[in-house]
Amino acid sequence: MPIPTEPVGSLPRPAKLQAAYADYDAGKITKDQLEKEQDAACLDSIKRMEATGAPIVSDGEQRISSFATYPLTDTLSGTGLAEGLAADGQYFAIFTDGHHRQLPRLTRGPFRYETYAAEFVAKAMKMASKPLKQAVIAPSMLSLLYPLDGEVKGYSREQFLNDLCDECEKDIRMAFKAGAKRVSIDFTEGRLACRNDPNNPWTGRNMLGEFIKLNNRVIDRFSPAERKNIGVHTCPGGDCDATHSADVDYAELLPSMFKMNAGYFLMQLASEKDKEHVYKLIGQHSRSDANGVAQVCFIGVINPQNPRVESPQEVCDDLMLASKYIPKERLGSTDDCGFSPFSIDVKPKHGSPDVARDIAFQKIKARVDGTNIASEKLGLARAA
Ligand SMILES: [Zn+2]
């Protein structure tokens, strides 16, 4: 088997689609009109991703407000916000360039998703000729919807977490049922949980341990055969070409992260200062038997925040170095993060979201080609 390669999920939304989101928020166009633009952007995303030779593709998340809020709201401005939520929740993250992203706040129970990722899978299945992956949000991220202190009246934290786990499980099961071959859980808050930023109170509460436990409450509901295709994505954030926790040493996260019984991990690494240090940690802490499934380690070989396109040789070199520490049968390649996890993103370092899309496809092609070269070098069959 060749080295597997898989995207995280998102692509920049075309400028035209971002304008349509704004028009929808302003009440200038209907939901149907917005959906037409989403359809066009998804089709373009899938076709162009398939043209790179990638063995598995996504719809570029063109239909969602963000990787974290898709179950709860149609747009980032809060149009279509689900019942029982208010827009003024806590900061999920404060980024290095000073901008922040906020979560909604739970005002009453019971907690239910408004939209499941399966809806996007079903639409993408009609457009794709290659296997599809779908990203879903982690229960740990959505646990931040509940106020840090105090209680939602008539709805305890425990009741909320029970409902949340049920909804996350349902989200994953339905995505598979709709046709997704792989489902990865976005866990960007994992590394941020080690940051302790006084401006962002939840990061100073040592929540990593409870995040891991909560996510395992969902992951452990799946059989080893199912978990083979359930992944976890970690990164230091990626929005408007900025990060939120790149200064946290992976040594603080990885020993805990690999305790999650997922079958694979998509890990930011291309933009990491000392990659070899992290490859070593991955080799030490990833498990060949996580309750019946071997953890496959997909290392980031592409930096979606930097417009410079990596060469296939660079991709190959990263994989060859990583293979010194990570068994080659448990090695994969990925992009460091989605190319635009939030729908409204002008991709400032790229000049425009449309330019950033063109660059993203070149980068994905470099990932695919470089991974093929490494597969041959390591004596693994080349991808078809
Ligand atoms: Zn990410």
Centre of ligand 1 to C-alpha 304, Å, is 10
CA 186 to ligand 1 center in whole angstroms? 7
Distance CA 58, CA 10 (A): 8
Q: How far is the CA of 235 from the centre of ligand 1 (A)?
A: 5
Q: Tell me how far the alpha carbon of residue 273 lies from the centroid of ligand 1, in angstroms.
A: 17
pLDDT in tens, the chain (384 residues): 899 999 999 999 999 999 999 999 999 999 999 999 999 999 999 999 999 999 999 999 999 999 999 999 999 999 999 999 999 999 989 999 999 999 999 999 999 999 999 999 999 999 999 999 999 999 999 999 999 999 999 999 999 999 999 999 999 999 999 999 999 999 999 999 998 888 899 999 999 999 999 999 999 999 999 999 999 999 999 898 899 999 999 999 999 999 999 999 999 999 999 999 999 999 999 999 999 999 999 999 999 999 999 999 999 999 999 999 999 999 999 999 999 999 999 999 999 999 999 999 999 999 999 999 999 999 997 645
Separation CA 343–CA 11 (nearest Å)? 9
Q: Give this prediction's pTM.
A: 0.97
> Ligand 1 center to residue 379 CA distance, Å?
31
Ligand 1 centroid distance, CA of 155 (Å)? 31
Neighbouring C-alpha atoms within 13 Å toward the C-beta of 282: 30
Burial of residue 275 (number of CB atoms within 10 Å: 0-12, 13-18, 19+) = middle
User: How many Å lie between the centroid of ligand 1 and the Cα of residue 114?
Assistant: 23
User: Cα of 335 to ligand 1 centre, how many Å?
Assistant: 9
Predicted pLDDT at 1: 87
Q: Which helix (H) or strand (E) holds 361?
A: helix 353-377
Going from the Cα of 219 to the center of ligand 1, the distance in angstroms, rounded, reads: 19
237 alpha carbon – ligand 1 mean position (Å): 5
Taking the centre of ligand 1 as the mean of its atom positions, its distance from the CA of residue 239, in whole angstroms, is 9
Cα of 111 from ligand 1 centre, angstroms:
25
| Residue 101 host element (H or E) | strand 100-102
Q: How far is CA 379 from CA 282, 322, 359, 376, in A?
A: 22, 15, 30, 5
**In whole angstroms, how far apart are CA 282 and each of 171, 184, 279, 290?**
28, 18, 5, 14
CA nearest neighbour of 87 among 63, 104, 108: 104
Residue-level pLDDT at 382: 63
Q: Count the neighbouring beta carbons within 10 Å of the beta carbon of residue 264.
A: 26
CA of 193 to the centre of ligand 1 (A): 14
Centroid of ligand 1 to alpha carbon of 98 (angstroms):
18
